[in-house]
Structure 1
């Protein structure tokens, strides 16, 4: 499998915020932003995996930093940060541009994990990643740390669930003698 450069899959998507996207205060609903983050991330992941579909496995560190308003342009910038044997991380940055003034602000960021799927809808490896800048290398190192933390958190949760299950296992009922 031939490695692919980060720039080969970088994606920029836009969405003009309409009244149907907003709450009564005129701010774009977080769910609308999240939907567009997932779409931009999936396009980026599919561009990297070429020939495979991808599915969203998780969303990490979803951070809303500032509101986006009706009439503004959401600009979503997605980039593959890391590829492992079974998944890939895509970072998505959302900016909001006031089309009248040109003012641009960072409104949200998230890290998404995608899994490439073969024609039988089974996970398949994605191509390795070729870094083209120090920024790409830094993002990869940060993504690997996030992956390690997610894996450790899953291990802790599983252990806690196992402990809880063993503590809840029914013991023989103790009865008082009535006579």
Structure 2
């Protein structure tokens, strides 16, 4: 198996936000930002794997700060973790007011991409060379996110999963439960 450094597939792209990218409140539409994030995740994963990659999942999409029309948005993507055929790409989104120079962190997200061959079959990806503490932390955090997701899916898909196990917990939320007596 061959190995590649994280730096060898790191990508950055910038784009000026225009009125056509805005939503009804005059801010940049989150869906447009997600589209750009998917593009940079694809480019980063494909550069690492040297093949076509598809999006398998997106984890932790939190819109932290709004992006304004006229802001310069910069996205930075790097490989955080690799599996046998998958690549976790971490993306950081920042916006800059080009008149004042003020920078805002708008989003960080994690895209899991799967490498495919020309027939659409999953293919092995190169291993990862990690060479600093930040890269180790990102790799470990990606593993923990995967572990948490698998645990959650296992709990929810279990035949033993029952709403009655959670009724007491639900009382602490803003919900009124009105089930029929025979339910």
TM-score bucket of the superposed structures, by smaller chain = 0.7 to 0.9
Matched with 1:93 is 92
Matched with 2:52 is 53
Provide the TM-score with structure 2 as the length reference: 0.84
1:6-45: CA deviations, max 9, x gaps? Answer: 0001110112111010023321011011111111111110
Q: Classify 1:99/1:145 alpha carbon distance in 2 versus 1 (closer, same or farther; 3 Å).
A: same
1:86-123: CA deviations, max 9, x gaps? Answer: 31111101000111111111011111100000121111
Gaps of 5+ in 2: 164-183
Q: Classify 1:100/1:133 alpha carbon distance in 2 versus 1 (closer, same or farther; 3 Å).
A: same
Contact kept? 2:155, 2:161, Cα under 8 Å = no
Whose Rg is larger? 1
Matched with 2:105 is 106
Gaps of 5+ in 1: 165-179
TM-superposed deviation, 1:163: 7.9
Matched with 2:181 is none
TM-superposed deviation, 1:132: 1.9
Please give the alpha-carbon distance, in whole angstroms, between the structure 1 residues aligned to 2:80 and 2:58. Answer: 14
RMSD in angstroms over aligned alpha carbons? 1.7
> Does residue 33 of the first structure (1) align with residue 33 of the second (2)?
yes
Provide the TM-score with structure 1 as the length reference: 0.86
Please give the alpha-carbon distance, in whole angstroms, between the structure 1 residues aligned to 2:126 and 2:120. Answer: 17
TM-superposed deviation, 1:161: 8.9
Matched with 2:177 is none
Secondary structure in structure 2 of the residue aligned to 1:99: coil
> Does residue 18 of the first structure (1) align with residue 18 of the second (2)?
yes
